[in-house]
Amino acid sequence: MNRVRFAPSPTGYLHVGGARTALFNYLFAKHYDGKFVLRIEDTDISRSTKEYEEQLMESLLWMGITWDEGPDVGGETGPYRQTERTDIYVKMVDELINSGKAYRVYAYPEEIETLHDDLLSQGKPPHYDQQMLEKFNTPERKKEFEGGGLNPVVFFKMPRKEYRLLDLIKGEVIFKEGAIGDFVILRSNNQPIYNFAVVVDDILMEITHVIRGDDHLSNTLRQLALYEAFEAPIPSFAHVSMILGPDGKKLSKRHGDTSVEQFRDRGFLPEAFFNFLTLLGWSHPEGKEILSYGEIIESFTIDRVNTSAAIFDEAKARWMNGVYIREADLDRITDLTIPFLVQAGLISLEEAGANLKWLKRAIDSVRKGVELLSEIPEKMKLYFEEIQVRPLSPENEEQRKVFRSLEAFKDRIEYLNSWSNEEIVSTIKEILKEIKPDRKSFYMSLRHVLTASEEGPELVDVVFLLGRNKTLHRLQQALRLP
C-alpha cells in the first residue's frame, strides 16, 4: 500500500507552499487508494505551540484535506507528534552507536563552533570526522559531563561515497563523494536533529513516497545515508519545485497574502482554493482548469507535476473563486456571506435570520459581480445605505422623454397590487411602449437614480429588493418631487 505523509512544524500559520505539499500528498494517496499520514514535527520547542498545531489542522480540514492517521485520530504507527517519540529516537540512536555507525562526542557547543571556524579559516569545508572530534572524548571530559548531568552529542558517521537518487520529478540526482562530513543526529538535550527524526519516523510509519518541496533536496543526502545505515527500504522521493511570486522570487509576505487562513478570511471558497492550488505545478491531462474534487483525485499523478517553478497568480485565483461563487448553492453562499455583512455593519445576525428570504435574493443579485465573498458587502450597500441622488435636469426632448418615463414609473409602482419582478417588468414595458424614450437612456437613468452607479445587479432585481418605499424615495429625489 502507498503511504505518504505531511509533516508540518506548528510554528506559524499554514503557508501556501506547505498547503500545496499537503494537497499533493493527499491527492496521491487518494488516487492510489493509499494512506495519508499527518505528523506534527514539533521538536522546535521554543517556537512550536498547540494553537498553531490546531490552526494547521483546521486549515487542512477547511481545504477538504483529511488524514487516515494523525495526532487526533490515532493509528497503528503513532504517536504522531515528534515530542512524544523521544524514547524511540534515543533507542534508534543507540542502535547506530552499537553498530559503529554513530559515536558520542563530549564537546561543548562553543567548541564545535570554534572547530567549524578553524576549518573555514584554513580554507577547508566545515566537514567533521571522528578523528578530529575524538580529542574531546577524554576521561576527564566524560567524567565532567557525567558529574554535571550533561549528555554528549551524537554524530553520525557519514560514509565517504557517492549517492544517487532517482527523483520522480527531477530525475536522477547525484550527490558526490565527500559532499558532507559527519553530522549531529542527537543533541545534548536528547532532542533529535530534523534529518534523523524524519528518517526514523518515515521508516517506522512505513512511508513509501516522500512528496515535498525541493527546498528539502539538500537534506536528502543525509537521509539516504541514514536509511542505508538502518538497512531500511528507501522511499520514492518526489521534490516539487517551489512557488514563486509574479516577480519570479520565492513567494513571501511581500507578495501579499501567503497563508491559507488569509485566503479563507478574504472569502475564498475551499473548493476554489483546492482547485487553484492543485494547478500550481500540476496540469490536467485535458487542460481543464475548473475541476471538482473527484476529477482532481481521479486525474492526479506525479508524472504530470511540472519540473519548473509555479507562479502564484493572484488574479487567476480570484477569477477561479468568482466562478465557484456564482455556481455554488445559494443557501451555502448566504451562510458564508452573513459574517462578512455583519462585520461590515450592514446587518445583525438577528436581522439576517428574520429577513433570510430577502437576504438570499439580495446576495444572489450581486454575486455575479464579485470574486471574493468579502466584496459582497460593498456591492450590497445600495440596499442598506442612503445614496446621494442628483436631481435630473432634462435639456432636450429626448431627456424630457426619459424624465416623463421615470415620472410615470414612479406613479405606477406606487400603486402596484403586488410587488414582484413580473409586475415591475410589465410596468416598464408599458411605459416604454407609451412614451417611447430611448431605451438605453431610460435604463441607464433609472439605474443611476436607484444605485448612483452605471453598473450593478439586474435592474429589476434592484427595484424589487430596494422595495417600494426606497425606490419611490430615490425617484422623488431625482425628479425633485415633494
Catalytic residue annotation = 253
Contact 252, 245 (CB under 8 A): yes
Contact 136, 106 (CB under 8 A): yes
**Angle at alpha carbon of residue 322, lines to 318 and 326, rounded to 5°:** 170
R_g of the chain computed on alpha carbons: 32
Report the interhelical angle of 397-413 vs 421-435 (nearest 10°): 140
> 367: closest CA among 353, 382, 383, 379?
379
**DSSP-H helix ranges across 182-266:** 194-204, 220-229, 260-265
For β-strands 102-105 and 153-156, DSSP reports them as antiparallel
Q: Which residue has the cell 501579499?
A: 256
Region of 64 please: left (phi>0), alpha (psi -120 to 50) or beta: left
Distance from C-alpha of 464 to C-alpha of 266, rounded to nearest angstrom? 29
User: Residue 74: exposed, middle, or buried by beta-carbon count in 10 A (0-12, 13-18, 19+)?
Assistant: exposed
Distance from C-alpha of 367 to C-alpha of 358, rounded to nearest angstrom? 14
The length of the chain in residues reads: 482
Report the run of H or E that residue 291 belongs to, with start and end: none
Distance from C-alpha of 133 to C-alpha of 126, rounded to nearest angstrom? 12
Q: Which DSSP string do the residues of 453-475 spell out, in sequence order?
A: SS--S-HHHHHHHHHHHHHHHHH
Distance from C-alpha of 239 to C-alpha of 439, rounded to nearest angstrom? 61
Contacts made by residues 126-130, CB under 8 angstroms, sequence distance 24+? 126/181, 127/178, 127/180, 127/181, 127/182, 128/155, 128/181, 128/182, 128/183, 129/181, 129/182, 130/103, 130/155, 130/157, 130/182
Report which DSSP code applies to 12.
Answer: S
Report which DSSP code applies to 229.
Answer: H
